[in-house]
Amino acid sequence: MLAAFICRKLNSMSSLPLRLYPAKPSKVYLYGTCLIDSLYPDSGIAAIELLESQGIEVIFEQAQSCCGQPPYNSGYAHQAAKVAEAQVALFPLPIPIVVLSGSCAGMIRHHYPELLIDHALGAFCERVFELSEFLYHVLNIQLKDKGAPERIALHTSCAARREMHSHISCQKLLQQLTNVTLVEHQDANECCGFGGTFALKHGDISAAMVQDKTHNLLSVKVDRYVSADWGCMANINGALAKQQAPLEGMHIASYLWQRMGGEKS
Amino acid sequence: MTFAPESFRDNVSQALKDQQLRQNIKGATDYFAANRQRTVAADEHFEQLREQGRLIKQRCLAKLPELLEQLEHKLTANGIKVHWAQTTEQANETIAQLLAQHGATRAVKGKSMVSEETELNDHLNARGVETLETDMGEYIVQLEHERPSHILAPAIHKNKVEVAQIFDKHIEGLGYTEDVDALILAARHVMRDKFKQADVGITGVNFAVAQTGTLCLVENEGNGRMCSTVPDLHIAITGIEKVVESLSDIPPLLSLLTRSATGQVLSTYFNMISHPRKSGEKDGPKAVHLVLLDNGRSDAFGDEAFRQTLQCIRCSACMNHCPVYRRVGGHAYGTVYPGPIGQILTPHMQGLDKTQDLPTASTLCGSCAEVCPVKIPIPQLLLRLRMFAQMPDKDEKPVVAGQGAGRKSAEAFIWWLWRYFHQSGRRYRLLTYMLTKMRWALPRVIKPWTDSRELPTVAKMTLHQRVKQRQRQQGAKR
């Protein structure tokens, strides 16, 4: 309680996000996210392998579905709240909940308190970590790069950057890879134009935004780009594929696991 | 482009095709953002300053009714007459009457977004009053019979060449030149004569200090000082949310305003207007009036969350950093206040029925809130407006006018169905299992997504299934 209070106090005084991280746990919950579940399960398996390789037991609750962000962002908070309530009930043990997306982690950590009235929610939200944040700050992971030399760019989702501040942990992790050169692209902090239902409700603005994002990524001539959010990557990869451009994004879980020499999952 | 938020979608498709417009806006907003970044990075206390700014504005809003009364009392004691206007029509009518009383027919104007809000120029012109905008950007858009596309830089959508063409067309004897200094000088010559002839100066107000009855005006060109000192009559117009408690509230807010807007540590001019010309004084207006406009602000004030909208000090940093504004420009919104602040402010002025496309036109990326000098949680307020837009209007007095206007029963049903399948783990797994089985039968075209992107394909097995399979295999190995 006191720690959380001091944390809030310091946060209000500093531009740098401050969060108290727990000691390395023996087990964690994994929150796979709905996009990874149905569209990109490889990234989920890679995350499990990666965490297990660090001696962590991974608990995957079979009843998990979605964090509720799609209806919440569309103005249907009451529908989102019911799903959010069901998710919270799935993670009773006092162990970290590792989320494979910056925006879903941001939703659970920062927006569940707006949706639900639950006196224990504060402690629950404190247990929510985005994967790269967990690997870097909690595990203090030391990555051994076994891959060939390559140049990559990093795309950070807006929620990862502005809600979870995990763009920093992503950068730090990628910089640990000795054969990987991380290249900064223009307007890296600007949104890719996904925004969930925004891409459908305002398709032309969204298209203009992703055009610029793909242009900037292609301009730095990298071998691939990496991101911790499949929402953005569905958008950016989809646009790159439509343009038949020779670039594709990879989720940070898959990428790190591959660079560490893990089997392709 | 049509000046109405209902035309947002049409305006957007027009704006997106205009490559010159997009280039002009990107260049200018990049420039403002870089200047802001440079100043902010050099100031290690900027975050504390933002927090201070937020607290000042929230304190002043918490006692808004008292402060407004105090302001009126103090201004009156200082010899400045205060007029209240609930609607834009009332504000225009008040000003028109003041001009008639003074026999004023030639007005010079400093930049005032509130006067844009009331469409004061049109109203006065119709009554035979000549109005001249004296802010350089505002002058450019007035020459072209356009509206400002940015609250700080009204002509941000024009580049140097376009301005050169406009001046060549409108200013006699200038001839075509792209020399910026020559262009500015030519406009200043036009204005100098008008300042001398004008019988009324009309300006906005950045901060109105309740304790002392002082009107503060921030500007860079000196035209605001001319408007408020040269003509015999000065009329200031502003929104009720501009009142602050004391003079000590001003330095932090002024610092935040100029740093966030242009990256300036201080503006070139800062005017403090506290009374009309006193006997024995050689210059200054003989009469000063203040028009305080509500126009929906008190509705926003009535809701604790929406009240934060009124913290705005009109710096324009949110639009300079907004990926949507940076691509479509200010005119596309069809509103006086474009960009993120306009998206959360205009629904309270015009109702959610007319503005229902504004709250959805955001990815909620948060770059506006990140730079807002008074920490308005713009994405949260957009979300709140989205919620009210689809809410069935059951209350007698709605929180936002026109609430429920965006409700579509098909969409409501989709989210009901979505909730049904995601609330229970079993139903969710059944849904995703069906998706994997039907993966080849799913549509390959979903408009407008597939106009510029490929669709992702559903995996053969979900992560849920893969984890289960993996556990079985590992169990078998052991």
**pLDDT at residue A54 in the model:** 97
Q: Distance from B368 to chain A by nearest Cα, in Å?
A: 11
Tokens of B103: 């026999």
SS (H, E, C) chain B: CCCCHHHHHHHHHHHHHCHHHHHHHHHHHHHHHHHHHHHHHCCCCHHHHHHHHHHHHHHHHHCHHHHHHHHHHHHHHHCEEEEEECCHHHHHHHHHHHHHHHCCCEEEECCCHHHHHCCHHHHHHHCCCEEEECCHHHHHHHHCCCCCCCCCCCCCCCCHHHHHHHHHHHCCCCCCCCCHHHHHHHHHHHHHHHHHHCCEEEECCCEEECCCCEEEEEECCCHHHHHHHCCCEEEEEEEHHHEECCHHHHHHHHHHHHHHHCCCCCCCEEEEECCCCCCCCCCCCCEEEEEEECCCHHHHHCCCCHHHHHHCCCCCHHHHHCCCHHHHCCHHHCCCCCHHHHHHHHHHHHCCCCCCHHHHCCCCCCHHHHHCCCCCCHHHHHHHHHHHHCCCCCCCCCCCCCCCCCCCHHHHHHHHHHHHHHHCHHHHHHHHHHHHHCCCCCCCCCCCHHHHCCCCCCCCCCHHHHHHHHHHHHHHHC
Which residues of chain B lie closer than 8 angstroms to A238, CB-CB? Answer: 449, 453-456
| Helix (H) or strand (E) segment spanning residue A4 | helix A2-13
**pLDDT at residue A13 in the model:** 47
Which residues of chain B lie closer than 8 angstroms to A204, CB-CB? Answer: 12-13, 16, 448
What are the residues facing A128 on neighbouring strands?
A97
Enumerate residue ranges in chain B where pLDDT < 50. Answer: none
Nearest to A194 among B363, B461, B466 (CB): B363
DSSP assignment of A156-212, as one string?
--HHIIIII-THHHHHHHHHT-TTEEEEPPTTTTS--S-TTTHHHHTHHHHHHHHHH
Torsional sign, CA A74, A78, A82, A88: positive
Nearest CA in chain A to B458: A39
Average pLDDT over chain B, rounded to an integer: 96
Pairing outcome for strands B269-273 and B214-219? antiparallel
**pLDDT at residue A4 in the model:** 58
A-B contacts (CB, under 8 Å): 202
Kindly report the backbone phi and psi dihedral angles of residue A175, in degrees, each rounded to the nearest multiple of 5, phi listed first: -70, -20
**pLDDT at residue B397 in the model:** 77
Q: How confident is the model at residue A7 (pLDDT cuts 50, 70, 90)?
A: low
**pLDDT at residue B391 in the model:** 86
**Residues in A 52-111 with any Cβ partner in B closer than 8 A:** 60-66, 68, 70-77, 79-80, 82-83, 86, 90
Is any Cβ of chain B less than 8 angstroms from the Cβ of A8? no
Asked if B367's CB is within 8 angstroms of A191's CB, the reply is yes
Asked if A41's CB is within 8 angstroms of B463's CB, the reply is yes
Is any Cβ of chain B less than 8 angstroms from the Cβ of A238? yes
Q: How confident is the model at residue A27 (pLDDT cuts 50, 70, 90)?
A: very high
Asked if B464's CB is within 8 angstroms of A74's CB, the reply is no
Q: How confident is the model at residue A107 (pLDDT cuts 50, 70, 90)?
A: very high
**Residues in A 159-178 with any Cβ partner in B closer than 8 A:** 159, 161-163
Distance (Å, rounded) from C-alpha B237 to C-alpha A243? 52
Is any Cβ of chain B less than 8 angstroms from the Cβ of A201? yes
Nearest to B363 among A75, A198, A203 (CB): A198
Asked if A189's CB is within 8 angstroms of B367's CB, the reply is yes
**pLDDT at residue A14 in the model:** 47
For the whole model, what pTM was predicted? 0.95
**What confidence tens digit (pLDDT) does each residue in A70-103 have?**
999 999 999 999 999 999 999 999 999 999 999 9
Q: Distance from B463 to chain A by nearest Cα, in Å?
A: 5
B267 HSE (CA, 13 A, CB side): 24
**Contact call for residues A228 and A47 (beta carbons, < 8 A):** no
Which residues of chain A lie closer than 8 angstroms to B436, CB-CB? Answer: 38
Nearest to B456 among A39, A74, A193 (CB): A39
Asked if A39's CB is within 8 angstroms of B458's CB, the reply is yes
Nearest to B462 among A38, A191, A204 (CB): A38
**pLDDT at residue A265 in the model:** 47
Is any Cβ of chain B less than 8 angstroms from the Cβ of A209? yes
Candidates B8, B25, B432, B452, partner chain A, best to mutate (most A CBs within 10 A): B452
**Predicted ipTM?**
0.95
**Contact call for residues B424 and A83 (beta carbons, < 8 A):** no
Sheet hosting strand A150-155, strand order edge to edge? A180-183, A150-155, A224-227, A249-251
Asked if A193's CB is within 8 angstroms of B363's CB, the reply is yes
Is residue A12 scored above 50 in pLDDT?
A: no
**What confidence tens digit (pLDDT) does each residue in B24-52 have?**
999 999 999 999 999 999 999 999 999 99
Distance (Å, rounded) from C-alpha A251 to C-alpha A174? 12
Pairing outcome for strands A27-31 and A57-59? parallel
Nearest CA in chain A to B324: A205
User: Residue B359 to residues A73, B311, B353, B386, B471: CA-CA distances in angstroms?
Assistant: 11, 18, 11, 6, 45
Nearest to B464 among A37, A238, A242 (CB): A37
Residues 6+ apart with CB under 8 A from B47: A13, A14, A15
Kindly report the backbone phi and psi dihedral angles of residue B332, in degrees, each rounded to the nearest multiple of 5, phi listed first: -60, -30
Candidates B365, B394, B477, partner chain A, best to mutate (most A CBs within 10 A): B365
Which residues of chain B lie closer than 8 angstroms to A77, CB-CB? Answer: 383, 387
Amino acid at B368: C
Q: Distance from A10 to chain B by nearest Cα, in Å?
A: 11
Asked if A82's CB is within 8 angstroms of B360's CB, the reply is no
Q: Distance from A179 to chain B by nearest Cα, in Å?
A: 30
